[in-house]
Amino acid sequence: INSLATYRPKLHFAPKKNWMNDPNGMVYFQGEYHLFFQYHPDGTTWGPMHWGHAVSKDMITWEELDIALYPDEHGTIFSGSAVVDWNNTSGFFPDEPGLVAIFTHHLDGTEERPPVQTQSLAFSHDKGRTWTKYEGNPVLGPDTKVDFRDPKVFWHKETEKWIMSLATGQTITFYSSPNLIDWKFESEFGEGIGSHDGVWECPDLFTLKIEDSEEEKWVLIVSIGDNPEFDRGSFTQYFTGSFDGSTFTAEHDSIKLLDVGKDNYAGVSFSDIPDEDGRRIYLGWMSNWRYANQVPTDGWRSQMTLPRELAVRKVGEDYKVIQRLVGELNSYFSEKVDIDECIVEGTKTIKVEESYVDLTLNLERVDAEQFGITVHHTKEQHTTITFDSAKNVLVLDRKKSGQIDFSDMFLLDQEVKLENTDNVQLRLVVDSSSLELLVNGGEYSLTSLVYPDKACEAISIHTFNGTIKAAGYVSIPCK
């Protein structure tokens, strides 16, 4: 099969050619969303990192532009963020506001010394098309810590300072600055809390509205690198709590996962979304370090998740980050195939032969022991999502989804414990080589790659030992 065509996503960003990992420098400026990304322009596996660049009007259709940042004497270009310097705090913009990128310079280790990671700046006067590196680079580091990277910067209105969250080994360190150039240590977070299964990477700190209230919560996202001792690969956790301009305090001891699937990593949010819009929009790298370098695509590797709007929901005494796909996605669908309310016992199949689909479905358990849906990619290839009412779990099984034999971990079921399975709401977007499942209004997100010969031939609803009530619709592409 020609995997160049087969696996290439219709709705997700993927580079035209060669290797991509983390989203970087996501920022909205003068009518454009910018997506920079970890990019290796000379191969389809990870290598000396550059910042690739794409722009979009709606975060779904992206135009890939020239490489934004190239390696230099300080090293290759690792992950980081971008902001609009509206008030020329940096002095780079005497005439009109522009973009500043804050990123990690990485120098490989040698026989004499370990790797060196420092934070540097570049600025652009032409909407991100060309960049000038700051002559005083680096602006922060090196440090005694070898892992000292992935700066995410935002303007903290209350203290009128820039705040940088930086991944520093297995903690996040916060720095502040009046001008993006001079950085002062504020505090360090993470000792003895959260998951320490691997190195901490790609932090992001922001406020989110609490659903159905006027209140907000501070949320800190932290990605956790792959650790060969465990079979989960790389994943993302978050903390909810408070931030006073200097210190972040988490309000819980439990480990909270942003995505219970295997393929959502290093995600961060857009900077400078206008106040009138008010959304906090996030997207991640849709892969897993355990097998990212082996996935069976030709000529290009990796894609991003769909953009998602984040909020916080109070569940009991706990606060959960919930995710919804951005409304911009709706204009990529025109028709609907209705699934009228019905009782299902056994299997009900809906034929939808499309290159991508968006399914909305409510499943109400009557007495089925197990129930769920299967996406039939082709006659032989399928992915199954099952709810087990005795165990209260949701399981995604991709063992028969197509090409699977490039990694043992790809075969493992993706499973999450739910409060109950009496009434589940599903939203599932199926593209050429991915499934993004949001359960119960985005309380759970399960993002999973698959490599079938075709996206979708049919969707079936099925039960085991009993019945369920089902209703919903499948949205299909514009013709």
Binding site for ligand FRU (CB under 6 A): 21-22, 38, 49, 78-79, 104, 149-150, 201-202, 266
Shortest gap between Cβ of 294 and ligand FRU (angstroms)?
Answer: 16
Shortest gap between Cβ of 22 and ligand FRU (angstroms)?
Answer: 5
Residue 413, strand partner residues: none
> Which residues does 291 contact at the CB level (< 8 Å), separation at least 6?
233, 406, 407, 409, 410
Shortest gap between Cβ of 231 and ligand FRU (angstroms)?
Answer: 19
Shortest gap between Cβ of 11 and ligand FRU (angstroms)?
Answer: 23
Report the DSSP pairing between strands 235-243 and 256-257: antiparallel
- List phi, psi (to 5°) of 437: -110, 125
* DSSP-derived 3-state class of residue 408: helix
Report the DSSP pairing between strands 444-449 and 423-431: unpaired
CA distances, 60 to each of 10, 33, 84, 132, 330 (Å) = 9, 10, 22, 28, 10
- Maximum CA extent, the chain: 71
Nearer to ligand FRU, 288 or 414 (CB): 288
Identify the helix (H) or strand (E) that includes residue 3: helix 3-6
Please provide the DSSP assignment of 367-401 as one string.
Answer: S-SEEEEEEESSSS-EEEEEEETTTTEEEEE-TTS
Shortest gap between Cβ of 150 and ligand FRU (angstroms)?
Answer: 5
What CA–CA distance (Å, rounded) separates 353 from 359? 13
> Which residues does 293 contact at the CB level (< 8 Å), separation at least 6?
45, 46, 301
What CA–CA distance (Å, rounded) separates 79 from 124? 18
Nearer to ligand FRU, 69 or 424 (CB): 69
Shortest gap between Cβ of 312 and ligand FRU (angstroms)?
Answer: 25
Nearer to ligand FRU, 287 or 460 (CB): 287
Nearer to ligand FRU, 218 or 289 (CB): 289
Shortest gap between Cβ of 261 and ligand FRU (angstroms)?
Answer: 16
User: What is the distance between the terminal CA atoms of the chain, rounded to a whole angstrom?
Assistant: 26
What CA–CA distance (Å, rounded) separates 172 from 170? 7
Peptide bond into 452 cis (omega under 30): no
* Active site (annotated) includes residue 22: yes
Nearer to ligand FRU, 22 or 204 (CB): 22
Residue pair 448/385 in contact (Cβ under 8 Å)? The answer is: no
What CA–CA distance (Å, rounded) separates 432 from 450? 8
Nearer to ligand FRU, 284 or 372 (CB): 284
Catalytic residue among 22, 85, 272, 431: 22
Half-sphere exposure of 340 (CA within 13 A, CB side): 0
Shortest gap between Cβ of 21 and ligand FRU (angstroms)?
Answer: 5
Shortest gap between Cβ of 156 and ligand FRU (angstroms)?
Answer: 23
- List phi, psi (to 5°) of 329: -65, -30
Show the CA angle centred on residue 12, arms to residues 9 and 18, nearest 5°: 70
Nearer to ligand FRU, 78 or 206 (CB): 78
Peptide bond into 71 cis (omega under 30): no
Q: In the chain, count of helices (H) and strands (E)?
A: 1, 34
What CA–CA distance (Å, rounded) separates 207 from 134? 30
* DSSP-derived 3-state class of residue 423: strand
Nearer to ligand FRU, 201 or 431 (CB): 201
What CA–CA distance (Å, rounded) separates 366 from 347? 15
Nearer to ligand FRU, 201 or 358 (CB): 201
Active site residues: 22
